[in-house]
Structure 1
Amino acid sequence: MKQERQTCFRTGLIAPVRRRRLLLGAAATALADTAGGPVLAQTPPQQADHTLRIAPVSLEIGPGRVVRTTGYNGTVPGPVLRLREGKPVAINVVNDSGYPNLVHWHGLYLPPEQDGAAEEGSPIIPPGQSLLYSFTPRPTGTRWYHSHAMAMTDLSKSTYSGEFGFLVVEPAAGDPGRYEREVLLAAHHWEGKWVSMQDIRRGPPPDNGLEAMYHAATLGDRMLGHGEPIRVRQGERVLFRLLNASASMGISLALPGHRFTVIALDGNPVPTPRTVDVLRLDVAERADVIVEMNNPGVWVLGSAKDDDRNMGMGVVIEYANRGGEPQWSAPPDSSWDYTAFGRSSPAAAPDETIHLKFEKIPGGRGGYNRWTINGKSWPDTNPLFTVRQGRRYRLVMDNHSGDEHPVHLHRHTFEVTKVGDKPSSGLMKDTISMPRFSTAEIDFVADDPGPTFFHCHHQDHMDEGFAGLITYV
């Protein structure tokens, strides 16, 4: 075991090990013996509705700028999966990525074995083998799919890679439509390097550990200024489905001369649609926004942060019969407030309240940070707490650290009931961003029995212990 390599998984079925490292065997049997988790290869029947092949891909994000990564079906993002709510679907996943892998169907209500998280008991797909996922998609809205493997120090794996794609669950009765066009854009950061933050000028205190820094970014499949623009016509109402598929970086987006009308967050319609100048999305968050194309020209839809936009985070919006250089102007200062999209009336009282405190144990120069929930790191957080089916639980969360955390709850949707000192109700999400030294409260109903994974969606934070398993009794 002293010569162990880093595995790609976290699993609640293994004995606690520091940094959750496991021996990777060459065969599925060796992996199963080591991990103690379900490792299944399955020859799918011919009736699979969709096939996803995970394999290496060379992605040209700009002229002469090639990223070698892994993706789905040879593209990044992967193919858009459009599923019908309530209609069973079978998706064959072929793992040619070269390492043990699995796919998480983010935002769906699924049995744990179909969710694509090894911590919940989902099967691992050994290299060179395949697995058939079968489920009935719900709820409707903008969901997505991505790798849920462990990456640790390897910035070519899991959510650091190109393994992500949109999954849209369409209503069983059809969508009446409030727009003329639909555009899907996923943001991602590339060319990551590990750096000691205290060695960067104006960085955090010298007791902080390593962080991933990036040198390129895309909104869509290419860097800003490369590839085809999004062509629109004056008077069009365009629905943008926007996703932050980065591994560890939040984004802020703006479109000069235009505003975003937010109609859904994380795929769920908001009780109070709002029009904003800047759209803030932490890792794994999605937003459905309507933009009225009423300011002809050639514009940059891109990051409100100059550094990100200069790395490529943006795309050109070009009106018909308009030309010239794409225009950018800084948006007005604005803050992001979840409660603006909810209701001011109080949420229903919970059956039980659970307090969760998030803290960091700094790794020091050249080391990796460790994250804790109520003083414990995964797998010692297993179980985080237990629930009874049908009961309503309020999570009172305290981010007692100087880092931002997009907190994600698998297989359930939660209601945002308080942000800081502001109460709210009605806003339903599956991921909530918690800025540094902030508090928030969310409620969920235990209505999807089985082990349920709770974690920060920053890949490095999750890999370094910011995770727990909620179990049903």
Structure 2
Amino acid sequence: MTESDRRGDRPCRQPQMCRRTLLRGAQASVISLLTAKTLPLVRAQALPRETADHKIRIAPISLEIAPGKIIKTTAYNGTVPGPALRVREGQPVRIEVANDSGYPNLIHSHGLMIPSQQDGATEEGSPIIEPGKSLTYEYVAKPTGTRWYHSHAMSMTDLNKGTYTGEFGFLIVEPAAGDPGGYDREVLLAAHHWDGHWVSMQDVKKGPPPDNGLEVMYHAATLGDRMLGHGEPIRVRQGERVLFRVLNASGNMGISLALPGHRFKVLALDGNPVPLSSTVDILKLDVAERADVIVEMNNPGVWVFGSTEDEDRNMGMGVVVEYAGRNGKPIWSAPGKSKWDYTAFGHSDAPAAAPDETIDLKFEKIPGGRGGYNRWTINGKSWPDTNPLFTVAEGKRYRLVLNNNSGDEHPVHLHRHSFEITKVGDKPTSGVIKDTISMPRYSTAEVDFVADDPGLTFFHCHHQDHMDEGFAGLITYG
């Protein structure tokens, strides 16, 4: 599918898959009118270069993730991850983007409360950046915390576009005043999977039923900028308190990480401080999730900080942590089994505020069959027929009852808003604020958000293939 298809310049060859096509007929007119009335126009031309706080060039690169292992991909400013952008909460920021990727593109600032047209999603009215053109995003940075920026281009079956590529980086919103403190140094680690190809799962599993469609399989992975054992180690000193900001920037793969002989004290999830700073042995992050964790360096040695899955770690998902004065082969020791539980970081004895309205959302898959593309539905409909998903009134609190009625995991993301997790399965909780929640297979959860950022709001699964296959919808303000 071409970028012209997704913008509606020509008929889509797969109408049910065209998540970029907005509402048809009268509904499209309503959304166009809403956009015109509520959203400021983004600048069509780049500002003078000297006025930009940050400059990003999207362009192809050859990325060496291990000796002789070259990945041809697209990146920001020639590095993967892209440059870490640091901005101050409450301050205006201008990010100038030059698109030399060779295809229509745009950048989404993930986890920020910003106007729809600055958000970097065409579904919300953000303009596309044509090849060879530039555009400057302008907004006031908020809220404080670990955010990130990434491509929001449609990929379909092209694994050289969108979040399958190296187009991602950290976006840190620093507090307006004060020093967060509490640690000696900071390390940014982004996970990503590489060298993927499409397969029919029936061919992999060698058995019936031949109903599930295409899935992506990978052959390489990184935690940081190189495969495990091929980059510079993280060098630490005994007694240091290290703040790790960890991001899962993969296209469609969840990760579980451990550092043998050490534990993670979780301070924040998706950039937002948790009510209870619980300490865990395993850090589980679905696609787009972030965690800020403190590790006390009190077990000298040379260790592997990596995936708990042997297959993932063998593909390169890990990094070496080396204490000063220590050398030798890095040690990996599998941690005991541990279930990731959002409620461990929230309040179990203080119920969340009552919502003004409750909305049920059920997620299901329509298998594509051997060699075919799956299709995902929300309440029985796929993008664009999901629109509007529902309409909100500014200032009201909405509870989304999420039902993953499928055998796949889904990191469900709400643009331009944060939500409070109020129930996981049958366990009520409160106080954990996120913008992405992982929904394991055949699971339920409830999240509350306040409609406090008017404008078109995109809701979708952050697995690139699931989003492209119809798992998306627009929330509109009335």
TM tier, shorter chain? Answer: over 0.9
Q: For 1:260-299, what aligned pairs fall within 5 Å after superposition?
A: 260-299=264-303
Query: CA separation of 1:199/1:404 partners in 2, compared to 1, >3 Å: closer, same or farther?
Result: same
Q: For 1:453-468, what aligned pairs fall within 5 Å after superposition?
A: 453-468=458-473
Figure out how many residues of one structure are paired with residues of the other and give that number.
457
Q: For 1:386-425, what aligned pairs fall within 5 Å after superposition?
A: 386-425=391-430
Q: For 1:39-58, what aligned pairs fall within 5 Å after superposition?
A: 41-45=44-48, 46-58=50-62
Q: Does 2:17 align with 1:19?
A: yes
Secondary structure of residue in 1 paired with 2:3: coil
The residue aligned with 1:256 is 260
| Pairwise CA distance, 1:22 | 8.5
CA–CA separation in structure 2 for the residues paired with 1:102 and 1:115:
9
The residue aligned with 2:386 is 381
Secondary structure of residue in 2 paired with 1:200: helix
Query: CA separation of 1:203/1:128 partners in 2, compared to 1, >3 Å: closer, same or farther?
Result: farther
CA–CA separation in structure 1 for the residues paired with 2:358 and 2:261:
45
The residue aligned with 2:29 is none
Q: For residue 243 of structure 1, what is the amino acid of its counterpart? A: L
| Pairwise CA distance, 1:42 | 1.0
| Pairwise CA distance, 1:406 | 0.1
Q: Is the 8 A contact 1:7 1:21 kept in 2?
A: no
| Pairwise CA distance, 1:462 | 0.1
The residue aligned with 1:6 is 2
The residue aligned with 1:65 is 69
Q: Is the 8 A contact 1:194 1:213 kept in 2?
A: yes
Q: Deviations over 1:149-180 (max 9, x none)?
A: 00001001010000000000000103240100
| Pairwise CA distance, 1:14 | 9.9
Q: For 1:361-376, what aligned pairs fall within 5 Å after superposition?
A: 361-376=366-381
CA–CA separation in structure 1 for the residues paired with 2:420 and 2:208:
33
Q: For residue 450 of structure 2, what is the amino acid of its counterpart? A: V
Q: For 1:120-135, what aligned pairs fall within 5 Å after superposition?
A: 120-135=124-139
Q: Does 2:251 align with 1:222?
A: no
Q: For 1:337-376, what aligned pairs fall within 5 Å after superposition?
A: 337-344=341-348, 345-376=350-381
Gaps of 5+ in 1: 24-35
The residue aligned with 1:193 is 197
Query: CA separation of 1:176/1:437 partners in 2, compared to 1, >3 Å: closer, same or farther?
Result: closer
CA–CA separation in structure 1 for the residues paired with 2:277 and 2:20:
47
Q: Deviations over 1:128-154 (max 9, x none)?
A: 000010111000000000000000010
The residue aligned with 2:239 is 235
Secondary structure of residue in 2 paired with 1:393: strand
Query: CA separation of 1:174/1:360 partners in 2, compared to 1, >3 Å: closer, same or farther?
Result: same
CA–CA separation in structure 1 for the residues paired with 2:395 and 2:73:
43
Query: CA separation of 1:109/1:12 partners in 2, compared to 1, >3 Å: closer, same or farther?
Result: farther
CA–CA separation in structure 1 for the residues paired with 2:9 and 2:132:
24
Q: For residue 44 of structure 1, what is the amino acid of its counterpart? A: L
Gaps of 5+ in 2: 22-31, 36-40
Say which of 147, 161, 166 aligns to 2:170: 166
Q: Is the 8 A contact 1:41 1:126 kept in 2?
A: no
Q: Is the 8 A contact 1:10 1:118 kept in 2?
A: no
Q: For residue 234 of structure 1, what is the amino acid of its counterpart? A: Q
| Pairwise CA distance, 1:292 | 0.2
| Pairwise CA distance, 1:234 | 0.1
Q: For residue 361 of structure 1, what is the amino acid of its counterpart? A: I
Q: For 1:27-106, what aligned pairs fall within 5 Å after superposition?
A: 41-45=44-48, 46-106=50-110
The residue aligned with 1:26 is none
Q: For residue 189 of structure 1, what is the amino acid of its counterpart? A: H
Q: Is the 8 A contact 1:146 1:159 kept in 2?
A: yes
Say which of 317, 322, 329 aligns to 1:318: 322
The residue aligned with 1:27 is none
The residue aligned with 2:26 is none
| Pairwise CA distance, 1:18 | 2.9
Q: Is the 8 A contact 2:42 2:138 kept in 1?
A: no
Q: For residue 351 of structure 1, what is the amino acid of its counterpart? A: D
Query: CA separation of 1:167/1:298 partners in 2, compared to 1, >3 Å: closer, same or farther?
Result: same
Q: Is the 8 A contact 2:20 2:384 kept in 1?
A: no
Secondary structure of residue in 2 paired with 1:346: coil
| Pairwise CA distance, 1:71 | 0.3
CA–CA separation in structure 2 for the residues paired with 1:204 and 1:257:
43
Identical-residue share of aligned pairs (%): 77
Q: Deviations over 1:413-463 (max 9, x none)?
A: 000000000000000000000000000000000000000000000000000
| Pairwise CA distance, 1:44 | 1.9
